[in-house]
Amino acid sequence: MARSVGRWGWIGIVLSVAWLLGATAVLDHQRGVEVRRLARECHQLQADARASKLCGATDAAVAQPLCRFKDADCDHWPFEEERYAKNIAWVAAAPVAVAWVMFYGFVRVFRRSDKP
């Protein structure tokens, strides 16, 4: 027999959804700010490398670390995407899962203590 979701269950569902949406929005904003900052820095380093006379040689990237940015792709950040996915998992989803496990445990303990 299926049990209906009680008042506390609905409150938990609403709080879980609100937490997931809020945490995702905050993390998405932080990620956007970080990607824009990294892209700005990369474009500046790229401009400096292209303007440098030292980066004109064929093996200049080995001698000068700045020359590595001469042909860099400043608009794609794969590490930032990976970090964003990990942040969503740890900051948004993990607390919700832990809260539901704790809620389930409390419900079981209190239902057991209510029985005669």
* Residue 84: pLDDT over 70: yes
Give the number of domains in the chain.
1
pLDDT band at 14 (very low <50, low <70, confident <90, very high): very high
**Distance from chain centroid for Cα 99:** 20
Which residue's entry shows tokens 């993990």? Answer: 94
Under 8 Å between Cβ of 14 and 20: no
Asked if the structure places residue 23 within a domain, the reply is no
Asked if the structure places residue 75 within a domain, the reply is yes
Question: Residue 31 has what pLDDT?
Answer: 85
Asked if the structure places residue 59 within a domain, the reply is yes
pTM beyond 0.75: the answer is no
The two three-digit tokens of residue 40, written as one number: 């700005």
Question: Residue 1 has what pLDDT?
Answer: 36
**Which domain, by its residues, includes 77?**
29-114
For residue range 20-35, list pLDDT tens digits in order: 999 989 988 988 888 8
Under 8 Å between Cβ of 45 and 51: no
Please name which of 22, 10, 11, 15 lies closest in space to residue 92, comparing C-alpha atoms: 22
